[in-house]
C-alpha cells in the first residue's frame, strides 16, 4: 500500500467527493490561490475553478454564514478555518444556525456542511492559538464531531463527513499535516461514530484522539518494556461517542486512562469517565484516570509548553499508578 502525507489524504478526500458531486465546494482563507495555509488544497483551484474553491477575507463569521446558508439551500460546503482558534468568531453560525436548523425548522431544512481545520497546540504559538475545541463542539446537540490522528482515518472520515446530511466539525492538527501513513488508492469510507482499537492489550485501556494518539501509543510502547499490556483506542469520532467499544475494552482490561489535549473541566475525558462508572463500574479495578493539559492558558516558553501538555512520561506514570495502587 502506498504511503502519503496527512495533507494529501485530506486533499484526496475533498477531490474525490467534488468530482462526484457538483454541489460540493471548498471555501476559506487562502484555500485557492495560495493552495491552502498548510497546502491541503494544493492544486484544487486549477482543477475545480474559482467558483468551487473560494478564497475569503479574514472574516470567519461571514464566510461560515455563507456556508450555512448555502447548505440550507441544497449544496454541500466545506468550510476551512485556518485554525479552530479563529473559528471562535464563527461560533454563532456553527452553534446557533448550523446545529439547530433541522430542529428549528421541524426537519424542513437540513444543513449538510463540514467545518474543518487544525485544533490544539502547534508548538510555541501562545495562549490564543493553542486551544483544543473538540469538547466545546461536542457539547452542542445537532453537531457531529470528528477528530483524526492519521492519514488513513483522515481520508475515510472526511469523505464520510462530506456526504453526511448533518453539520460536522472536523478536527485536524497543524503538527500532523506532514505525517506519512498508508492509504489505499481505491475509494473507501470510514463510518462516523466508530472508534478504532489501534493496539490490543490486556492490562489497561488507554483512550485518546487526534495528535495525543502519539502520546498514547508511545506510552504503550514504554509500558510493554515493563510487561504492562496496554490496549489503545482512538476515538476518531467524539460525537456520536462509541461507548460500546470503550466498555468492551474496559471489561477486558479492568482499568482505563484517558489522554486528552484539553482543559480538565467539562472535557471529553470527563464524559467518558461518567459513562464508564455508569456502564462498567463493576469491572473497574481502579479509578478512571485522566492526563489532561494544565488548567490554565498555554504560555509561550518551551518549558511551560512541555509542562502544559500531556506526555508519554506523564501517561506512563499514571498507568503505573492504576496498575499498582
Architecture (CATH level 2) of domain 3-182: 3-Layer(aba) Sandwich (3.40)
Q: Is 129 one of the catalytic residues?
A: yes
What pLDDT sits at residue 147? 98
Catalytic residue among 17, 129, 172, 260: 129
For 244, the enclosing helix (H) or strand (E) is: helix 243-253
Phi, psi (deg, nearest 5) at residue 65: -65, -40
325 neighbors 317 (Cβ within 8 angstroms): no
Q: What is the pLDDT of residues 290-318, one digit of tens each?
A: 999 999 999 999 999 999 999 999 999 99
Question: Is the CB of residue 243 less than 8 Å from the CB of residue 279?
Answer: yes
Q: How far apart are CA 120 and CA 132, in angstroms?
A: 4
Quick one: pLDDT at residue 88? 96
- Which neighbouring-strand residues pair with 170? 116, 146
| pLDDT, tens only, 180-212 | 999 999 999 999 999 999 999 999 999 999 999
Q: Exposure pattern of 82-98 as b/e (b: 16+ CB <10 Å)?
A: bbbbebbebbebbbebb
- The topology under which CATH files domain 196-323 is Rossmann fold (3.40.50)
Residues (pLDDT < 50) of the chain are none
**What pLDDT sits at residue 1?**
86
Asked if 239 contacts 141 with a C-beta cutoff of 8 angstroms, the reply is no
| Active-site position among 60, 172, 174, 261 | 60
pLDDT the model gives residue 125 = 86
For residue 271, how many other CB atoms are within 10 A of its CB? 18
Alpha-carbon gap, residue 307 to 302, rounded angstroms: 9
CA 96 to chain centre: 21
**pTM, rounded to two decimals:** 0.96
Q: Is 325 exposed, middle or buried (0-12, 13-18, 19+ CB in 10 A)?
A: exposed
User: For the chain, which residues make up each domain, given as ranges?
Assistant: 3-182, 196-323
248 is a catalytic site residue:
no
Q: How far apart are CA 190 and CA 192, in angstroms?
A: 6
Give pLDDT, residue 180: 98
Write the CB contacts of 38 (distance below 8 Å, at least 6 apart in sequence). 7, 118, 174, 177
Give me the residue label for grid cell 478504532. Answer: 196
3-182 and 196-323: identical CATH topology: yes
Q: How far is CA 286 from the centre of its chain?
A: 28
CB 206 within 8 A of CB 257: yes
Amino acid at each position: 500500500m502506498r504511503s502519503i502525507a496527512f495533507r494529501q489524504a485530506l486533499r484526496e478526500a475533498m477531490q474525490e467527493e467534488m468530482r462526484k458531486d457538483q454541489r460540493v465546494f471548498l471555501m476559506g482563507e487562502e484555500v485557492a490561490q495560495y493552495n491552502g495555509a498548510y497546502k491541503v488544497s494544493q492544486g484544487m483551484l486549477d482543477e475545480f475553478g474559482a467558483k468551487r474553491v473560494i478564497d475569503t477575507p479574514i472574516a470567519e463569521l461571514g464566510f461560515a454564514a455563507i456556508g450555512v446558508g448555502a447548505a440550507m439551500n441544497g449544496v454541500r460546503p466545506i468550510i476551512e478555518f485556518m485554525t479552530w482558534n479563529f473559528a471562535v468568531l464563527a461560533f454563532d453560525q456553527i452553534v446557533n444556525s448550523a446545529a439547530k436548523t433541522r430542529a428549528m425548522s421541524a426537519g424542513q431544512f437540513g444543513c449538510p456542511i463540514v467545518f474543518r481545520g487544525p485544533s490544539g497546540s502547534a508548538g510555541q504559538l501562545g495562549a490564543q492559538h493553542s486551544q483544543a475545541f473538540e469538547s466545546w463542539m461536542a457539547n452542542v446537540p445537532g453537531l457531529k464531531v470528528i477528530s483524526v490522528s492519521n492519514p488513513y482515518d483522515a481520508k475515510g472520515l472526511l469523505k464520510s463527513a462530506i456526504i453526511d446530511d448533518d453539520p460536522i466539525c472536523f478536527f485536524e492538527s497543524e503538527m500532523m499535516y506532514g505525517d506519512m501513513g498508508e492509504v489505499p488508492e481505491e475509494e473507501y469510507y470510514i463510518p462516523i461514530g466508530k472508534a478504532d482499537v489501534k493496539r490490543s492489550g490486556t492490562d489497561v485501556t488507554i483512550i485518546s484522539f487526534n495528535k495525543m494518539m502519539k502520546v498514547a501509543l508511545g506510552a504503550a510502547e514504554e509500558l510493554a518494556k515493563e510487561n504492562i499490556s496496554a490496549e489503545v483506542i482512538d476515538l476518531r469520532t467524539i460525537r456520536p461517542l462509541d461507548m460500546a467499544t470503550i466498555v468492551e475494552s474496559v471489561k477486558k482490561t479492568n482499568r482505563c486512562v484517558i489522554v486528552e489535549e484539553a482543559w480538565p473541566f467539562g472535557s471529553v475525558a470527563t464524559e467518558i469517565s461518567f459513562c464508564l462508572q455508569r456502564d462498567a463500574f463493576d469491572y473497574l479495578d481502579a479509578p478512571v484516570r485522566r492526563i489532561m493539559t494544565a488548567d490554565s492558558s498555554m504560555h509561550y516558553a518551551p518549558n511551560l509548553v512541555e509542562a502544559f501538555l500531556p506526555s508519554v512520561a506523564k501517561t506512563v506514570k499514571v498507568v503505573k499508578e492504576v496498575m499498582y495502587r
